[in-house]
Structure formats: structure tokens, C-alpha cells
Structure 1
Amino acid sequence: MHVLVVDDDPLVAQSLKTIICTDPEFRVVNLGTTGDQAIELYRVHRPDILLLDIRMPGKTGIQAAAAILQDHPEARILFLTTFSDDQYIIQALTMGAAGYLLKQNYQSIVPALRSVYQGQRVFGDAVADRIPSLVLRRTATPQPGTGNEDRGGLSEREFEIMKQVAQGLSNREISQKVYLGEGTVRNYVSTILEKLQLRDRTQLAVYYYKHYSG
């Protein structure tokens, strides 16, 4: 698996390379220090994964990622930053980034890269815990009368449960709101995940945020 690493601190970039290369499955194809270099090096190397810092002089990591995804929508971009800023998280989710990790969690980098390579989206615990609250602040209720096709193929009941999962409610809390048994709600959540081909509740919250919030 080929990884491109871009961080505005050359020492950090080299340290990341050292960490990644402890796993023989990975090869770091190059290092960069600016957003413009990220765009150019991605074009040259077409890595399996781009590990990208966010705050950089000139073009930010967010701006570089947007430019790369415009030309290469299949790109897997994993943000690695010291900043858990809500706006950065929102931008990363919206653009379809493969993940968002904090630099403090160095031990999670290699497992995260492997998960991203397998097609999963990865968010560090500190970030994942905040997604439901971000979604809750920005959710917009769909207009009454929208058809099933506007709900991603979900029934009205399934859509309502998805919305409440996105708001961070537990199965028990949802069951009290919709007057269903906790086990029934659990079955609904499993069905929704299967229909949307999602892995867990965090991915479901991200899906709702991307498709049904303003």
C-alpha cells in the first residue's frame, strides 16, 4: 500500500514516515510540506492513501484535498492534525474525506490507514464522540411529503430512527420517543445499516449529516 505524507513540519513528516514504515505492508512514496505539493505529488504518485495535515502555509490541507478530490474523486484522504476544530471536522465530513485523526494518537495511524485502504471511514475517538453533537446542531428536518426515494430507500419509520441515531440518542432513548421496544429499535438500526451499507452508528450519523442536514 502506497502512502503519501504531507505535513508542514518536515520533522513530523519524517516521523510519520518512520511510524508507517514499521509495517511492511506500507510504503511511503514521498513527503511534502505544503498544500500545493500535496496536489502535485498526488498527481505524480497516485498513492493509495494521502495522509494530510490541515493547517499549512498557503493552501490549507482542506483546500488541497478539495482540489485533489475534484480531479480524483476516488482519492482516499486521511486528515491528521493537532486541531479538533468543529469547522475542520464539518468540512472533512462534507467533502467525503476518508477520515480525521488527531496527531496525539500516533498508535492509531497504521490501523487507521489499513481501515481506510479497506474502504472504511475512520475518525479518532475524540472526533467520533463529537459527530452526533455537530449533526444535532445542523440537522434540518426534511419537508413533509418527501417520497421514499428522498430517504435513501428507507421507510418513514426507519428515517425517523436514523435521524435520532444521528442526534446521539441511545436505543433506549429512541424506544421511549417512538413507543417501540428497545429490541425493536435495535433491529431497525441493524436494518438501516444494512440498507445503507454502513458499518456502525457513527457512519450512520455521518451519512445523515451529509445527505439530510443544512
Structure 2
Amino acid sequence: MKVVVVDDDKLVCASLKTIIESEGEVEVLGLGYNGQDAIALYKQLKPDVLLMDIRMDLMTGLEAAEIILKEDQAAKILFLTTFLDDEYIIKALQLGAKGYLIKQNFESIVPSLRAVEAGQNVFGQDIVTKIPGLMTIDHREQPSYDLSDKEQELIEGVAQGMSNREISESLYLSEGTVRNRLSIILEKLNLRDRTQLAIFYYKNLK
């Protein structure tokens, strides 16, 4: 797996590189120190995952992610920050980031990178507990989305961060069936990816 690390603290960047590469089979292709670096490095190196801080000089990680994801919707961006600001979490989710971790949880970084590369969404426990509160709406105005009970169960599995294989095992469906049904659900709801589907769940079905 190829990774680019972007953080405005050069010592943190170097430390992250050491931590990530100590696990083996993961290579840090480049280090950047602001959002502009992130954009340039992503275009140049095309990493499997971009690991990036949020608050940085010149350009924030959120601003960089918005530009990168507009040009490449398949980009896999994992935020690693010290901030639990509601505004940051909501923006990261809306942009389509694949994960949001708090820096204190260094032991979870490499497993999270692997999960994101495999197509999963990764949010630290601190983030998961906040999401339902951030996404509350008035359910009296909730429209009908014409979703079957099974489709709602599939969406719930995605919202809980489960992989297609884990969902297939819990619902006794084949992995291919899960993948196909999720594609149909995304098209039906006019959503782009699993992250937006998770947001939809917390806003409309939770």
C-alpha cells in the first residue's frame, strides 16, 4: 500500500512515517506540510490513501480534500487530527472522506489505513458517538424513500462501518448480492458512496 502523509508539524510527519512503515508492506511515498502540498503530492504520486491533518497553514486539509475529491471522486482520504470540532466532522463526512481519527490513537492508524484501502469507512469511537447527534433532523418531515426492510438493514450495516463481507454474513446474503444491492440503493437515493450512505442513515433512518 502506498501512502502520502500531510501534517503541518514536521516532527509528527516524520513520526507517522516511522510508525506506518514499521508495520511492513506499507510505504510512505511523500510528506507534505499543508493543503497545497497535499494537492500537489496526490496529483504527482497517486497514493492508495492520503493521511492528512485538518488545521494547517496556507490551506486546510478540508480545503485540500474538497479540491482533490472534485478531481478524483475515488480518492481515499483519511483525516488524522487533534480536533473533535462538530463543524470539521460534518464537513469531512459531506466531502466524502473515508475516515476521521484522533491523533492520540496512534495504534489504530495502520489498521485504519488498511481498512480505508480495502474500501471501508473508518471513524474513531470518539467520532462515531458524535455522528448521530450531528445528523439529527425533524423526522415529521421525513419523506418516503421506498426502501425495503432488507435495504434498510444493508444501509445500517454500512453506517456501522461493516464491510460487504461482514454485511453478507450478518444478513445471510452472498457478498456479490450485497455489492449489487448497495449499488442499486446508491442509485435510488442519488448518493455517491458509502460515506454519504452512512450520513443518509443517521439523518433519515436512525
State the TM bucket, normalised to the shorter chain. 0.7 to 0.9
Max radius of gyration: which structure? 1
2:118 alignment counterpart: 118
**Which stretch shows the higher mean deviation, 129-138 or 13-22?**
129-138
1:116-154 Cα deviation digits (max 9, x unpaired) = 11110000111111112212258784335x6x3xxxxx2
> Could you state the TM-score of these two structures normalised by the residue count of structure 2?
0.75
Between the aligned partners of 1:26 and 1:84, the Cα distance in structure 2 is: 27
Unaligned runs of 5+ in 2: 161-169, 173-177, 186-192
Aligned residue for 1:61?
61
CA distance in structure 2 between the partners assigned to 1:14 and 1:63 by the alignment: 23
Give the unaligned 5+ runs of structure 1. 149-153, 169-188
> Residue deviations 1:88-119, cap 9 Å, x none?
11111111111000000000000000101111
- 1:159 CA drift (Å): 7.5
Residue 8 (str. 1) matches residue 33 (str. 2) = no
1:84 aligns to 2:74 (yes or no): no
Mapped to 2, the partners of 1:164 and 1:51 lie a distance apart of 26
| Shift in CA distance, 86/190, structure 1 to aligned 2, threshold 3 Å | farther
1:209 corresponds to 2:199? yes
Query: Is contact 1:165–1:205 with CA below 8 Å preserved after alignment?
Result: no
Q: Indicate yes or no: 2:186 matched with 1:196.
A: no
Q: 1:177 maps to what in 2?
A: none
Q: Classify the secondary structure of the residue corresponding to 1:136.
A: coil
Counterpart contact for 1:162–1:208, Cα < 8 Å:
no
Residue 175 of structure 1: aligned partner: none
d(CA) in 1 for partners of 2:80, 2:123: 10
TM superposition score normalised by structure 1 = 0.72
Question: Within 5 Å, which residues of 2 pair with 1:148-187?
Answer: 148=146, 154-155=147-148
Counterpart-to-counterpart distance in 1, 2:100 and 2:30: 21
What is the distance in 1 between the residues matched to 2:84 and 2:78?
14
- Kindly tell me the number of residue pairs found equivalent between the two proteins: 182
Partner of 1:98: 98
Q: Which residue of 2 aligns with 1:107?
A: 107
- Which residue does 2:165 correspond to in 1? none
Partner of 2:190: none
* Higher deviation after alignment, 8-17 or 134-143: 134-143
